[in-house]
Structure 1
Amino acid sequence: LFIPISSVLLNTGARMPLLGLGTYRLQGTEDTYRAMDAALTAGYRAFDTAAVYRNEADIGRALRILLPKHRLSRGDVFITSKLSPKDQGCKARDGCMRSLEQLGLDYIDLYLIHWPGTQGLHVEDKQNTGNRSQSWETLEEFHAEGKFCAIGVSNYTTRHMQELLRGCRVFPAVLQVEFHPRLAQRELRVLCEESGVSFQAYSSLGTGVLLSDPVVQEVAARCERTPSQVLLRWAVQQNVPVLPKSRQPSRVQENGRLFDFELSDSDMVQLSALDCGQRFLKDFYFIM
């Protein structure tokens, strides 16, 4: 049974699928091809990569083979990539061009600044603010040229978002951050909603730790679903796009089965009550 996958409307007027394949740690031509083939078979139409994942070229090659195989065209898939922290500031244009070249695409659907900080700079270094601003201006130029259909940011805090929204000419379309029942990100979600920015989740499974959470397991047993499906459904039921990642085709397909069931109101409340501000992914760039 093929269930159509829903999408969210971006402030650009384009639609972004609620489900995409996260490709962090997906390495090598064969693994990349197999995971993406399984994803397209399961109905995924979005793929999320980044310069720091070092797999943009593998993803581009796989797309060139898989789109004809699945009778799809370039416009049927939504591709996201991200600027490396080492390319923040004056190197941003080179970083953006490199992503387009590595992917072998004329345009990227969504391009993000990956981190608010610059590789090699201390968290307190004032240059970080200027570099963020310069990177964003570069993304705006690529957006104006039609090379990036939408632009946004990843791992920005409320302070970083407020700074960006005050100074930008083009509003960010997306903020991508860690989001799961133990990290509900309420302040950022309110800010995004008020600003017309789409809020997108990564690490929905809490690096796998949440799969063994007793509450998650209890809800999964009651729904006759897997813990991963419950955690992902918790997000998409709030209209938050998710990016589960896996190298295993069977797991990719399992994670895609989110749109043929619903969590009850009490299930949603029980899961949301787990919020305690716990982060599983920490990086010094994040706190700049």
Structure 2
Amino acid sequence: MSSSSMPPSILLNTGVQMPLLGLGTYKLRGAEDVYRAVDAALAAGYRAFDSAAVYRNEADLGRALKELLPKHGLIREDVFITSKLGPKDQGEKAMEGALHSLSQLDLGYIDLYLIHWPGTQGLLVSDQRNPGNRAQSWATLEELHAQGKLKAIGVSNYTPAHMRELMKSCKIPPAVLQVEFHPRFCQTELRSVCEEYGVCFQAYSSLGRAELFTDPVVMEVAKNCERTPAQVLLCWAVQQGVPVLPKSSSPDRIKDNSRIFDFTLSGTDMDRLSALDCGHKYCWDPSEVA
């Protein structure tokens, strides 16, 4: 990435910098909506974009970036693109799935490619074929990483047990683990596992599906900081070195969500927010996947 456009970032174990702020594109569908969101994000300083096969927007994201990067004075190397292997392609279909993502995005390579889910579509969570399928998928990602098509590889929605299993068998350690993370779900054990193995812990659902906006503590901290609840929640994560991926289709909200690096939460406010941890998940639960 050119230094002129480098946003605040974190160093991955691959030696590459990944922006601390990225645009999540879950539920962002249709060429027009994707284009508008990417345009607003690039203008606001976003340099990372997170997609997945199951989002069905890889092709639209790739086209939007190819059209918009020149408009914003940027080149391919200035942006960090993440996508993910769908659960239906877990195991023997992993190569087909990964190559399809590469083809859909059509950006030459993918900066970070994740196994989206530890289970396999069509199998029960308790099915003992799940571990073997995960291992086969990981070997495929390692192969594509060696070819330079996937610059970094990682996983999403893995539990501490899934992480330890992977670390025992992998040739290339995961660069990133992307999971749900917000003040009500602080993932202390999982963060410790990532720290132990040198894996970047990345957050999704940092805003708790907006339910956290009305939490009294979040509202009070936001009022005292003269910031929005969303900005406070995102700042709480990045101040701990945790990259975030807020998603929005609104250009104004996309811009607002980028304003998280020009203020600092006090130690007291950080502690108050962290004390909200109650193990509450807003998203799917991978803990039962064998």
* TM-score between both structures, scaled by the size of structure 2: 0.97
1:253 aligns with 2:269: no
Aligned mates of 1:15, 1:3 — CA distance in 2:
12
The counterpart of 2:79, out of the listed 77, 80, 100, is 77
User: Does 1:211 find its partner at 2:216?
Assistant: no
Alignment check: 8 A CA contact 2:184 2:276 kept: yes
Residue deviations 1:23-42 (CA, integer Å, cap 9, x gap): 00000011001111010001
Percentage identity across aligned positions?
Answer: 68
Q: Aligned to 1:52, what secondary structure does the other structure show?
A: helix
Secondary structure of 2:152's aligned partner:
strand
CA contact (8 A) 1:154 1:177 kept: yes
Match in the other structure for 1:277: 279
Q: Deviations over 1:104-138 (max 9, x none)?
A: 12110000000000001001111101000000000
CA gap of 1:79–1:286, structure 2 versus 1, over 3 A, is: farther
The 4+ residue runs of structure 1 with deviation greater than 4 A are none
Q: 1:3 to 1:100 in 2, by over 3 A?
A: closer
Q: AA paired with 2:29?
A: Q
Instruction: For 1:274 and 1:26, locate their aligned partners in 2 and report how far apart those are by CA, in whole Å.
Output: 30
**Cα separation, 1, equivalents of 2:284 and 2:104:** 27
Which residue type is aligned with residue 287 of structure 1?
A: E
What CA distance in whole angstroms lies between the structure 2 residues aligned with 1:134 and 1:184?
30
What is the RMSD computed on CA atoms of the aligned residues?
A: 1.2
Aligned amino acid, residue 220 of structure 2: E
Given the alignment of the two structures, is residue 287 of structure 1 paired with residue 288 of structure 2, yes or no?
yes
- Give the Cα separation in 2 of the matches to 1:268 and 1:189: 17
Deviations 1:56-79 (A, max 9, x none): 000001011000110100000000
Amino acid at match of 1:84: G
TM-score, reference length from structure 1: 0.98
CA distance in 1: counterparts of 2:118 and 2:126, whole angstroms: 12
How far apart are the structure 1 equivalents of 2:125 and 2:88? 14
Query: Once the two structures are superposed, what CA deviation does each residue of 1:114-164 show, in whole Å capped at 9, x if it has no partner?
Result: 000000100111110100000000000000000000000000000000000
For structure 1, the 5+ residue unaligned runs are none
Following TM superposition, by how much is the alpha carbon of 1:3 offset from its aligned partner in structure 2, in angstroms?
10
Matches within 5 A, 1:50-199: 50-199=52-201
Amino acid in structure 1 at the alignment position of 2:9:
S
* SS, match of residue 89 in structure 1: coil
